[in-house]
Amino acid sequence: MTASAAPLPFSAYRDLSGAQCDERIVAARRALGKEVVLLCHHYQRAEVYRHADLTGDSLKLARLAAQTDARFLVFCGVHFMAEVAEMLSRPEQTVILPDLAAGCSMADMANLAKVERCWRELAEVCDANEIFTPVTYINSAADLKAFCGERGGIVCTSSNAGEVARWAFRRRQKILFFPDQHLGRWTGHSLGVPLEEMRVWDPDVPLGGLLPEEIARARILLWKGHCAVHQMFRKSQIDAFRAQYPEGRVLAHPECEFAVAAAADEVGSTEFIVNRVKQAASPGHWLIGTELNLVERLAREVAAEGKIVRFMSPLVCMCSTMQRIDLPHLAWTLENLAQGAVVNPISVPEKEAESARQALARMLELS
């Protein structure tokens, strides 16, 4: 890298063709060498994904971010993923998100003010600090991870939610799970918690819309949040597939609604889904209930083996916020780095990061 320079404006990149962006990305990466590493989530668009050094789901990328020696970690994902990478990286490393608008609609459904109000309201009807373990899905802002860290809570991913929930129940009687109700419900169900002992907490009404006796009977309180992508899938889509391919297999992500997960043959994280199909010994038909970019990429990779992978929904259904990381933003980010300018660095306030790391460390120790 050269000496620090003024950032190049993004406006100069907005209208570049894909081929032009590819050429400039390759050149910038050649100039940067081992100083930069690109991490991409499975949901990333194909043209960006092919430039990745490291790929995976949230848990895998969290681990990889902590292990890399590169000076710059360019995260082709969404904001909460970049925050996790920043908190787990070393002080001399810089995490960059090519477009700061790449957020997560699910993460936005639970903010610190609402979660703190929930905790205060719970304290009015029970000893929340003694009874509830707060568990936040990794798809959440750093301040919610810090909230959990400060209260003896923990972070989970779709890969380890069951193990995390068992840990949480060993500590206290009940779990407050946010922001995704569907992952929380499927996790509880997988551990044998009856559906009637899992109640939805609506943060926009007093006491979550529950009576004190309902809170007393509940073992898990599920935040009223969801993933817009996984909300698109329906049990009727599985039924239609089974009628056409009785020997086919159905895989669903645990962010799907309960009826979809219950009708699937297997439920698991994106990493699980990818590995399950790739490691299958024989050809066959697969119906997959998760984000479109991942499913289409997987379908291409296993087609030569006679494995036919289909997307569960008849509608186009992709992570729109993840799509904001595109080739122009990646080219802009890398060429700025090559010229000594850092754009869109991610920084979590140290006090907040310290508490969040406690919750993340508990998760990583379990995993």
Tokens at residue 175, please? 């779990």
* 248 close to 286: Cβ distance less than 8 angstroms: yes
- Residue in this structure with the two tokens 């003694």, named with its chain if needed: 130
Terminus-to-terminus CA distance in the chain, angstroms?
37
Selected from 3.30.70.2340, 3.40.50.10800, 3.40.50.150, 3.40.640.10, the CATH number assigned to the domain covering 10-103+321-349 reads: 3.40.50.10800
Report the distance separating Cα 190 and Cα 301, nearest Å.
31
What are the φ and ψ backbone dihedral angles of 221, each rounded to 5 degrees? Answer: -100, 125
Q: Give residue 221's pLDDT band: very low, low, confident or very high (50, 70, 90).
A: very high
* Paired tokens of 64: 């990889």
**Those residues with Cβ within 8 angstroms of residue 118's Cβ, 6 or more apart along the chain or in another chain:** 176, 201, 203, 208
- 82 CB-near residues (< 8 Å, 6+ apart): 75, 95, 96, 97, 346
> Can 107-227 and 230-311 be said to share one CATH topology?
yes
Split at pLDDT 50, 70, 90, the class of 326 is: very high
Whole-structure pTM value: 0.91
- The average pLDDT across 160-180 equals 97
As a whole number of angstroms, the longest Cα–Cα distance in the chain is 64
pLDDT higher than threshold 60 for residue 3: no
Q: Inform me whether the pLDDT recorded for 1 exceeds 60.
A: no
Per residue in 52-98, pLDDT (tens digit) is 999 987 778 877 877 888 999 999 988 888 999 999 999 999 999 99
| Residues ≥6 apart with Cβ < 8 Å to 225 | 106, 109, 110, 178, 179, 180, 181
Q: State pLDDT tens for residues 4-17.
A: 678 999 999 999 99
CB 175 within 8 A of CB 218: no
Distances (CA, A) of 266 to 109, 186, 287, 288: 27, 12, 11, 10
Give residue-wise pLDDT tens across range 343-363: 999 999 999 999 999 999 999
What is the domain class of 230-311 according to CATH? Answer: alpha beta
The pLDDT tens digits of the residues spanning 11-48 come to 999 999 999 999 999 999 999 999 999 999 888 888 99
- 140/144 Cα distance (integer angstroms): 7
Other C-beta atoms lying within 10 Å of the C-beta of residue 2? 9
Question: CB of 153 within 8 A of CB of 135?
Answer: yes
Each domain of the chain, given as residue ranges in start order, spans 10-103+321-349, 107-227, 230-311
Distance CA 134, CA 63 (A): 22
Q: Say which CATH topology domain 107-227 has.
A: Rossmann fold (3.40.50)
Band the pLDDT of 229: cuts 50, 70, 90: confident
Is a pLDDT exceeding 60 seen at residue 318? no
State the average pLDDT over residues 137-155: 96
